Structure 1
Amino acid sequence: MRMKACVSQRDELLSTLKRVFGYDSFRPLQEEIITESLDGRDTFALLPTGGGKSLCFQLPALVRDGLTVVVSPLIALMKDQVDALQTAGVAATFLNSTLGEKESRKRLAALFNDEYRLLYVAPERLMVPSFLEKLRQWKVALIAIDEAHCISEWGHDFRPEYRQISDLRTHFPGVPFMALTATATERVRDDIVRQLHMRDPAIFVASFNRPNLAYRVVPKDGAYSQVVEFVRERRKESGIIYCLSRKATEGLAERLVADGIRARPYHAGLTDTERAENQESFLRDETKVMCATIAFGMGINKPNVRFVIHHDLPKNIEGYYQETGRAGRDGLPGDCMLLFSAADVAKLTGFIDDMGDEQQRRIAREQLSQMVHYGESAGCRRSELLMYFGERYPNANCGGCDNCLSPRETFDGTVSAQKFLSTVWRARDAGWKKDMSFGLMHHVEVLTGANTERIRKWGHDKLSTYGIGKEHTRPHWGAIGRELLRLGLLRVAPGEFQTIELTEDGLTFLKERRTLQLTRPMKTAAAKPEKRTGDIACDEALFEVLRTLRREVADGLGVPAYIVFGDNTLRHMARTYPQNEREMSRIPGVGAKKLDDFGAKFMDAIVKFLRENPRQVFADSLEPAAAPPRAMKPNAPNPNSLNDTAHMSWRMFDAGKDIAAIAKERSLSEGTIGGHLAIAIETGLAVDITRIVTAAELDRIRPLLAAHGTASMRPIFDELGGKLDYGRIRIACAILQRGHR
């Protein structure tokens, strides 16, 4: 199936992207994924949460004939995305168990009349024979499997009903598939491709890095007080607190409400109605904090979640990554705090020991060990997360985690290590049964002189190391023991139980009396970054006015506030003060239908605000659309305002490579590379423009820029007769707007 328009595919995509969604350019890999899918090829896309996965199937649905079927595991997520699409003017619907019979029949009739471009459906309904028969009559153009990791038993969120989807290929052999996920190891990715019988798929794996998220791990010490303090610092913001048990979510929510914080619980033990009501309240910003179980998750699409707290230790890094990823989906800053304690480690270890299957126990122990390593590591948190997924973080300091902002202190741990290793060595051959190994916390209790039945039973109160470690607390000794495990001086002994023993390196350390540096326990707080990635400075007073108006508009429509406009869009409005349709259309996230439906109300609010507050704090950031670009004093270069992928393109260009070579090496389009260099120019970085555009070309573009602005490059492209590609046009506009020649 080909696209309907006679203009080029890329022009149509960019035009539709701006008209419907209000954006001028694609996020990394979106354009490449969409292009391959439109060419009829199976595609696999791994994009981080907030990376724009949904657009990869939504935009193609608008530029070609036929129906795009989206398989989604979560009912609430279906409604959420369909509401957002309908508000943007897209004909989309969903079919699930929440609909009454009359409404279901109405939507089915519309599907038979080709009235929808997108259909969201759950996997269990999709594979019902009678539904498959209907689907064959609906001219299916693409089948998109969202949250595709659910099909793999190696994934952290395996759902058996997803396995049924593997039969889809036999029913629709000629229809391209698109599998999308935000979190999957290489093993899971391979399994997804195999389970879906994907044929020579185009595979796209974006960086797992979420630069706008800040990570911190805090020793759990008075957990409720820690949570309340954290939340009160962000009183106007929305957040999620993950707990290990249903009881904990309810107890925490009750205490928060008693302290004046609007909170609700969310877990599998609630009725469907209760869960729906609580989630809807959260989506509408009536509830500010949702206390949810780790096991059940949330499955929400709320882009303005500003913080995620893990009240209890997650079972594995994949789950932790996905849960923290619910913060900052709109690209604005988000904070992630994990409360870490040895008691949580012991609790999860107990759960694992109760598992019936040895293979499951082995996998769960390995996953927990990786999670504990992350929690206790003195290294960069971001680097640790990326390393788990097979990605290397290029910088020594990320500037956005507790360990990079407040590096952990080291100390001479030689004596402490000797005491711990000696205790492990001596306990192995003490008592009435030789060659025994014991758990880490047993050795901690021996060191601190605990009087337990188990210590007396094995005669460990008679060891020379019994009670010689009272200079440290038990949690500190536990941290030392786990660091010795990470350093390879100890290892987990083979067998069913989590016991430890010396390695050859550990024995050598004792015999040769080597020295050793260890890290001190985590501090309770870390310094805050001076500048946050993703932050958009704006007139905060106007932002609050616009946020109040957005809430009123959303309540009138019966939809969550962010479906009207996201925080990102409001902050751009509060930075540039748009007062007419042309200026408003330049704001990211303001498409044609939203401009028609909401533009006047928001412009009126801005005009009223400016009458009452005539000083425009950020007025110098807005270039009038109809005026020629004036000379601008170059700002100091700020490479930190570039995202990672744009900065890489600039570095390669600065090193002497041309746009075509960079595009080929990075497997991106030349237009995308041009866009990266334009952003570099806008942020003040030095770019040798003589290698890109000529003085004559700049002179030709200058009046076109004054006439058309930068809301869309299409008019300039057309008037130039297609002689310059979009990337070079954008670079030229960036040069002219900064006053360069």
Structure 2
Amino acid sequence: MSQYPNLEAALKYYFGYDNFRPGQRQVIENALSNRDSLIVMPTGGGKSLCFQLPALIKKGLTVVVSPLIALMQDQVEALRKNGIAATFLNSSLNSYQTRSREQYIIQGKVKLLYVAPERLVSDRFLPFLDLVHHQVGISAFAIDEAHCVSEWGHDFRPEYRQLILLRKRYPDVPTWALTATATDRVRSDIIQQLGLKEPSIHIASFNRQNLYYEVRPKKKNAYAELLELIRETPGSGIVYCLTRKKVDEITFKLQHDKVSALPYHAGLTDEERTQNQTRFIRDDVRVMVATIAFGMGINKPDVRFVIHSDIPRNLESYYQESGRAGRDGEPSRCTLFYSYGDVKIIEYLINQKSDSQEQLIAKQQLRQMIDYAEGTDCRRTIQLSYFGERFTGNCGNCDNCRYPKPVQDWTLEAMKFLSCVARCKEKFGMGHIIDVLRGAKTQKITQYEHDKLSTYGIGKDKSADEWRMLGRSLLHQGLLEQSTDGYAVLKLNALSWEIMRRQRTVSVAVSVTQKITWNEGSTQATEAELLLQRLRSLRKKLADEQSVPPYIIFADSTLKLMAQVKPQTKDEFAKLSGVGIHKLAQYGEKFIAEIRAYCQELGLQEQKTNPTSFVSFPSNTELQTLELYQQGLSISEIAKKRNLSPKTITGHIANLIEKNQLGDLNQLVPVEKQQKILQVLNTLGDVALTPIKEYLGDSYSFEEILFVRSKWRQHSRN
């Protein structure tokens, strides 16, 4: 039994949600026990709630450190719309507004205060904080975007280093550090630089299941392909470019082609950038074309596509930038256009760096990005391995998995490759190993006498590109390792030796040229979609009246539930996920009136059914199973870890499939079996498992039939 049984009630009251997302409850319980915490939770995983809900439950003021004005203002606005006492202090306020807000804080009328790190550590602000601590009490410091504290992070900010003084000045106030991405090295740096004391550490999976990843070769007609992508993908999107010139060029072309687009780069005035960003956030313009300067300060959850027209400099930046798509958990698309010409531009920029170690690290990061772009393995496997997370592959939601390349047995070639790494004493990078294998006559080979090795020239039958493809695949599959000091030296591990001892085989996806298309579903407007458009129009009208982004009124997911369920009373409306007590009072009648009007116009009968019968949400125990399943654990492993029977876990997974939380069955049931079971279900209907098994025979298990039946039921209801 949890020490905090009423957390779900608080979640529904303040934020309108019935259940926590995977991992959230445990993080919140740790926060309520006054422990320091390090929370690494990817964009869209509900990171903000992990400090906002404890702040509302605990006594005193929670101080939130946030690096960007736009980001803190956006979060405060969203909290206020939920009836929560939150405010910010930053340079956008005049002296009267600042004093007024400080007075409210001293009077204990504010629960969450957002400030920038520069203000927090200033000589003027610290005495004020002392007064707050004495009068009201400080319940916690929440350090958002905590990766900014580390020089090894992708967005280092020196002012974050000064936040250690909070620990010295207020030793008994817990500190919660939160970030969306952090490698092992960055995580260690955060703990050290913020002085966290024995923190509880929560690292959620970096796997964003709702994002479709694809890489396309950049050809001469790349703009026409980009335009087609934007036209066929509904909703808002971001196009990232390497240079300001490219931003202006693509913006001009899109506007000429009747796509509402605006630019964002450092060449614009502060006023122009702010205005363009606001118009994008409020859905006045559909596409933002930007350099990488854009995005960190926005909290727009309904970005449906992110297109990189040029290759980013490193994989962490790409994960961050592409991750601005689909923060609301809805299906979204991430496309990267790749050409060797872009690589040469970035290499030139790297060579301008004066620090040789910086150059080395930047070159290795670029190589990792090229590995991703040219890789034939599952895109998620490559991304997640960068963050130290093992993923089994076959995600079903990237170009390499949806349109797989032919798989070939390359065990013999892998043995040659790994033997060469061993013969070279694990002191060289991939390029040199390939040169040795192919019998090249380079100065380096002569210098180290590697032309005398038994592996010299044994790989002449393969091209350098083929060997490079194998090397990358070995790294992505965890069968080989690479140093992170900038030199990218190849290192053998236990799995490497298994291959060389013939105890493990190696399969490699071989690249082929193929036209890739993406289809989220039918474009035919359904009745629910027509209502959804009306609800979106109402939301936009209310948002414009209040000068806030539309998603702050209600998230897209909540609007979709309204369109599906059509609640026509306040009781029904209150049961929707995303409708808290404050939003029910503020907006309930307006949206119910719109739904009633729509139903009357179409002659639809008034809904009498409880809305929860249409939308079933996972229970807490099912969500715990889901989190472990997404980490790659088998049913038996989950059962052992949770001290439950495999039959119980199987039931959880079946329910999760039926509740549309698990879309891909390929890891549970072979595709050909799925098709056969579906044929039987379509013939017999929704019957018990035994008649289906009798029909199919002993080669089909009850579990396989159960999982496919759950999927069939989920589709039947939609």
What pairs with 1:285-684 in structure 2 (closer than 5 Å)? 285-295=283-293, 297-394=295-392, 396-409=393-406, 425=439, 428=442, 480=466, 482-483=468-469, 486=472, 519-526=510-517, 528=519, 539-615=528-604, 623=610, 645-646=625-626, 648=628, 663=642, 679-680=655-656, 683=659
- Aligned with 1:211: secondary structure? coil
Name the residue aligned to 1:509: none
Instruction: Quote how far apart the aligned CAs of 1:546 are.
Output: 0.4
| Rounded Cα–Cα distance in structure 2 between residues aligned with 1:606 and 1:573 | 8
TM-score, scaled to structure 1: 0.73
Match of 1:62 in 2: 56
Distance 2:262 2:660 in 1: 46
- Aligned partners of 1:358 and 1:681: how far apart in 2? 52
CA contact (8 A) 1:21 1:589 kept: yes
Q: Which of the residues 103, 109, 119 maps onto 1:109?
A: 103
- CA 1:422/1:287 → structure 2, altered by over 3 Å: closer, same or farther? same
Cα gap change, 1:203 to 1:674, in 2 (>3 Å)? farther
Q: Distance in 2 between matches of 1:151 and 1:240?
A: 27
Q: Post-superposition shift, 1:324?
A: 1.2
Preserved contact between residue 87 and residue 564 of structure 1 (Cα < 8 Å): yes
Mark the CA change 1:485 to 1:663 in structure 2 (over 3 Å): closer, same or farther: closer
Q: Deviations over 1:465-486 (max 9, x none)?
A: xxxx9xxxxxxx9955743663
Aligned equivalents of 1:518, 1:675: Cα separation in 2 = 34
Q: What secondary structure does 2:177 align onto?
A: strand
The one-letter code of the counterpart of 2:224 is S
**Which shows bigger deviation, 403-412 or 149-158?**
403-412
1:560 to 1:296, Cα distance in 2 relative to 1, 3 A: closer
Kindly tell me: are residues 85 and 679 of structure 1, through their superposed partners in 2, closer, same or farther at Cα, counting changes over 3 Å? farther
Displacement after TM superposition at 1:520 (Å): 3.3
Show the counterpart of 1:180: 178
Shift of 1:676: 5.8
Q: Which consecutive residues of structure 1, in runs of 5 or more, have no partner in the other structure?
A: 1-7, 437-468, 470-476, 506-515, 667-671, 686-733
Q: What is the CA–CA distance in structure 2 between the aligned matches of 1:212 and 1:34, rounded to whole Å? A: 25
Identity of aligned residues (%): 46
Q: Describe the SS at the equivalent of 2:4.
A: helix
Name the SS for the 1:136 alignment partner: helix
- Amino acid corresponding to residue 516 of structure 2 in structure 1: A
**Pair member with larger Rg:** 1
Residue in structure 1 matched with residue 697 of structure 2 by the alignment: none
Query: How big is the shift at 1:613?
Result: 2.0
Residue 299 of structure 1 aligns to a residue in which SS? Answer: coil
Shift of 1:523: 3.2
After superposition, the Cα gap between the structure-2 partners of 1:76 and 1:411, relative to the gap in structure 1 and judged at 3 Å, is same
Instruction: State the Cα distance separating 1:527 from its structure 2 match.
Output: 5.3
Name the CA shift for 1:73/1:336 in 2 (closer, same or farther; >3 Å). same
Deviations 1:592-634 (A, max 9, x none): 1111110101001111111122358x979x5367xxx8xx9xx
The correspondence for 1:14, drawn from 8, 32, 38, is 8
The 2-side partners of 1:172 and 1:272 are apart by: 36
CA distance 1:106–1:678, shift in 2 (3 Å): farther
CA distance in 2 between counterparts of 1:575 and 1:60 reads 32
In 2, Cα distance between the equivalents of 1:59 and 1:141? 12
More divergent stretch after superposition (519-528 vs 341-350): 519-528
User: d(CA) in 1 for partners of 2:436 and 2:409?
Assistant: 17
User: Is 1:204 matched up with 2:193?
Assistant: no
Distance 1:581 1:59, change over 3 A: same
Taking structure 2 as the reference length, the TM-score comes to: 0.75
Q: Hey, what's the Cα distance between the residues in 1 that align with 2:549 and 2:447?
A: 63
Query: Once the 2 structures are TM-superposed, how far is the Cα of residue 683 of structure 1 from its aligned partner?
Result: 3.9
Distance in 2, Cα, partners of 1:24 & 1:674 = 23
* Secondary structure of 1:137's aligned partner: helix
Using a 3 Å threshold, how does the CA distance of structure 1 residues 158 and 132 change in structure 2: closer, same or farther?
Answer: same
With over 3 angstroms needed to count, the CA separation of the structure-2 counterparts of 1:499 and 1:86, relative to structure 1, is closer
Query: Secondary structure of the equivalent of 2:596?
Result: helix
Once residues 130 and 144 of structure 2 are traced to their aligned partners in structure 1, the CA distance between those partners, rounded to angstroms, is 21
Aligned-pair CA distance for 1:191:
0.7
Distance 1:279 1:684, change over 3 A: closer
SS in structure 2 at match of 1:199: coil
User: How many angstroms apart in 1 are the aligned matches of 2:222 and 2:633?
Assistant: 47
Report the CA distance shift for 1:429/1:78 in structure 2 as closer, same or farther (over 3 A): closer
| Alignment deviations for residues 509-546 of structure 1 (CA, whole Å, 9 cap, x no partner) | xxxxxxx98833553424547799xxxx9811111110
Query: In the TM superposition, what whole-angstrom CA distance separates every residue of 1:657-706 from its partner, at most 9, and x where no partner exists?
Result: 87xx754699xxxxx99996795496499xxxxxxxxxxxxxxxxxxxxx
Match of 1:225 in 2: 224
Structure 2 residues not aligned, in runs of 5+: 417-433, 449-460, 476-480, 491-495, 497-506, 662-709
Gap change, CA 1:248 and 1:376, over 3 Å in 2: same
Partners of 1:325 and 1:64 lie apart in 2 by: 32
CA 378–196 in structure 1, closer or farther in 2 if over 3 Å, else same: same
Deviation at 1:320, TM superposition (A): 0.7
The residue type equivalent to 1:397 in the other structure is N
State the number of aligned residues.
600
Query: Structure 2: how far apart are the matches of 1:271 and 1:231?
Result: 27
Question: What's the offset of the Cα at 1:129?
Answer: 1.6
- 2:253 corresponds in structure 1 to 255
Instruction: Tell me what 2:130 maps to.
Output: 136
User: Relative to 1, partners in 2 of residues 1:201 and 1:226: Cα closer, same or farther, differing over 3 Å?
Assistant: same
Residues 220-266 of structure 1, C-alpha deviations (whole Å, 9 max, x = no match): 112211211100112x4001111111222222112211111111111
Q: What letter is aligned with 2:596? A: V
Query: 1:535-578 CA distances to partner (integer Å, 9 max, x unpaired)?
Result: xx981111111001100011111100000001010001111111
